[in-house]
């Protein structure tokens, strides 16, 4: 049975991905910081969802998460979806304090590599690893500097891992602007109802997982 880890699974894109993976026969282990929301996801989707509340920036939590996932067998898919925005509204770089920037990097850049490395003893030789990127990693928007720097770093990390371990598939995926709580936090007070729901991006992820194109950076809209 295919076995996945998906971080940030309590809402938004993470929850949408888990829903489709379970429908396709996957066992999914997920995490977020809110127990109640994770429990709701598991109650709705059934016994193939395992969950552990906690902070992906905590190495001990990452280790516990991986051990929980490994109970279901080799890990064949790992999706680093959990992300930290860094304030609402986001500050310009001259106002970005060191602690906030450190938190952004801890969640968006250090934690994904830490989780990958923690999973190595149980990671299948041909596993697919997806790291959530952003258009901000490639373009430049006022107020997005801290978040963008973390995602640009994650893109580079993904490409380097692909060069070092070519038997696996390493994807950095920009899902596009979606109607999520984090996107609303990025635009406080604005109406984001024109953005597509996160479920609309899921088919692109499934195509990457199933078709296994060359490792690299992909935009969900182009894959779809």
Say whether 23 is catalytic. Answer: no
Say whether 133 is catalytic. Answer: yes
* Class of CATH domain 3-223: alpha beta
pLDDT at residue 184, as a whole number: 65
SS (H, E, C) 41-63: HHHHHCCCEEECCCCCCCHHHHH
d(CA 46, CA 122): 24
| Per-residue pLDDT band at 206 (split at 50, 70, 90) | very high
* CB atoms inside a 10 Å sphere around CB 193: 7
pLDDT at residue 191, as a whole number: 76
d(CA 165, CA 108): 21
Query: If you average pLDDT over residues 91-106, what whole number do you get?
Result: 96
Q: Which of 10, 83, 150, 151 is labelled catalytic? A: 151
What does pTM read for this prediction?
0.94
E strand or H helix at 171: strand 169-174
The string of pLDDT tens digits covering residues 136-195 is: 789 888 888 999 999 999 999 999 999 999 999 999 999 977 666 776 666 677 776 877
| Per-residue pLDDT band at 212 (split at 50, 70, 90) | very high
Say whether 83 is catalytic. Answer: no
């Amino acid at each position: 049975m295919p076995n996945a880890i998906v971080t940030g699974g309590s809402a938004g894109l993470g929850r949408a991905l888990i829903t489709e993976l379970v429908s396709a026969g996957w066992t999914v282990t997920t995490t977020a910081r809110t127990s109640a929301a994770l429990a709701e996801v598991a109650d709705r989707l059934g016994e193939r969802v395992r969950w552990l509340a906690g902070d992906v920036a905590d190495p001990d939590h990452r280790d516990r998460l991986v051990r929980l996932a490994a109970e279901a067998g080799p890990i064949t898919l790992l999706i680093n979806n959990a992300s930290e925005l860094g304030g609402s509204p986001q500050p310009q770089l001259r106002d970005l304090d060191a602690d906030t920037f450190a938190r952004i990097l801890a969640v968006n850049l250090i934690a994904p590599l830490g989780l990958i490395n923690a999973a190595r003893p149980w990671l299948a030789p041909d596993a697919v690893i997806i790291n959530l990127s952003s258009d901000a990693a490639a373009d430049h928007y006022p107020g997005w500097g801290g978040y963008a720097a973390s995602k640009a770093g994650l893109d580079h990390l993904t490409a380097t891992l692909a060069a070092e371990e070519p038997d696996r598939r390493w994807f950095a995926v920009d899902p596009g602007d979606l109607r999520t709580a984090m996107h609303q936090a990025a635009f406080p007070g604005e109406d984001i109802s024109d953005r597509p729901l996160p479920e609309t991006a899921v088919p692109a992820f499934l195509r990457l997982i199933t078709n296994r194109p060359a490792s690299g950076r992909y935009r969900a809209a182009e894959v779809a």
